Amino acid sequence: MNQAIIGGTGVYKLFDDKESMTLDTRYGPAEVDLVTIDGYRFAFLPRHGRGHSVPPHRINFRANIQALKSLGIEFVYATAAVGSCSERFSPGDVVVLRDFLDFTKGRPSTFFDEGDEVVHAPMHEPYCRRLTDAFLETARDHRIRVKGEAVYVCTEGPRFETAAEIRMYARMGGEVVGMTSVPEVVLAREAGICYASIGIVTNLCTGMSEESFGLKQVQESMGGNRSSVLRCFVDTFKRPMVKSCCQAPADPPG
């Protein structure tokens, strides 16, 4: 088993046949489920903890990625509930994340913050192109309409963004906004894990619509897309995959 799914809002209840465990890492404990669907086994990591008990700014991203690394995981698909700050994307759309803008503030964002070694992880392709292409191919077979590729803006949370912030992000090239992809994607790159993320647009961002939005509405808006996307992940995993193509810049602390 070398494949995993990281899921956030509205994903936890979709798996019935699972074995839950807590792994201890040097960064703290991480919850992981070993899931079986149609005889196929993979790891699932509930990003916010079981029961959605951990807000985005308190997620222990380093423990999560280190736990997957310790299990021998080489390929990860992640889901992300996102708001749209672009006229290209509307609630219900499925988008592929291709790049990010980082507006987080206080999160530990690297494995390489100890010792004398200076490491600069490459970010020319933060989301694995090969995994993304494999998902798009399977999505066509599943008749999942992927609206396009998007630049993800990651904010600290747990509050939603102001209208002025959203206007700024859009002017800078941001298209969808969320609170979890960074540093998750960065740590996966540092660990040498191929990582791709699929966004499900749940709402228009602040100032894009007169409607107000909260966590309950976000969870409800994930709708049937979340189960379709997860099934697509599993069927993509069943395709032949060779060795990970996203090599670590150095060996992260174990």
182 neighbors 109 (Cβ within 8 angstroms): yes
Question: 3-237: which CATH architecture?
Answer: 3-Layer(aba) Sandwich (3.40)
- pLDDT, residue 214, reads 55
Per-residue CA distances from 40 to 4, 47, 153, 188 (Å) = 12, 21, 34, 23
Each residue's pLDDT tens digit in the chain (254 positions)?
Answer: 899 999 975 565 666 678 999 999 999 999 999 998 878 899 999 999 887 889 999 999 999 999 999 999 999 999 999 999 999 999 999 999 999 999 999 999 999 987 777 889 999 999 999 999 999 999 999 999 999 999 999 999 999 999 999 999 999 999 999 999 999 999 999 999 999 999 999 999 999 977 665 555 555 555 567 888 998 999 999 887 767 788 888 877 66
> 151 phi and psi, to 5 degrees?
-90, 125
- pLDDT, residue 223, reads 59
- pLDDT, residue 44, reads 95
> 51 phi and psi, to 5 degrees?
85, 10
